[in-house]
Amino acid sequence: MKYEVKICGLTRREDVEAAVEAGADYVGFVLADFSPRHVTPEQLAVLTRDLPKRVKKVGVFVNAAKEFIFSTVKTGGLDVVQLHGEESAEFARSLRGLTVWKAAHLTSLADVDFYASYPAERIVADAEAGGSGELSSWELAAELAGRKRVMLAGGISPGNAAEALRKVNPAGLDLASGVEESAGIKSKEKIVQLFQNIKGAVS
């Protein structure tokens, strides 16, 4: 099975190129000014210029105004809008014409039910959430992955990526800090190691 990979929180062109060269399917950029990985729409346009068509560009927004989302999609040539705040299903539906992903903090089976019906093409499941129910967060993510396309995020690294794929069977993995030297500064070596480990797990 082919698992997709998103490298998120990119702030430098050299890191974007390293992710693309290693085989990333998605490159992610944070458009929230409180984040240490924040980029502006203008920086986004430079970071995403002339990327191969196979690589999709994801913008991460946190409780952003609809107008800002649409204008940033245009400026940065985004393929996917990832909602990472408390955005309602109604808000997601209002983003007509856009491919929407929604970040989810899974703590219970009720959360799984809620996000299984959320109007998003994928759910980015935070696997690092402390479980408050009987199931661990990976078990909850696996439950959701049986009902909706899931990108597994939160604490994923080259060291546990293969195990995460086996246990959750998501559509793909979403990494930020797991392949970083520091916030927003990626490690090419860790990115390469990630793809080697995934290839070894599924071959």
Marked catalytic residue, from 15, 25, 111, 126:
126
CA distance 96 to 9: 25
Give yes or no: 113 in active site: no
* 198 within 8 A of 165, measured Cβ to Cβ: yes
Give yes or no: 8 in active site: yes
Marked catalytic residue, from 8, 15, 111, 174:
8
Q: Which residues are catalytic?
A: 8, 126
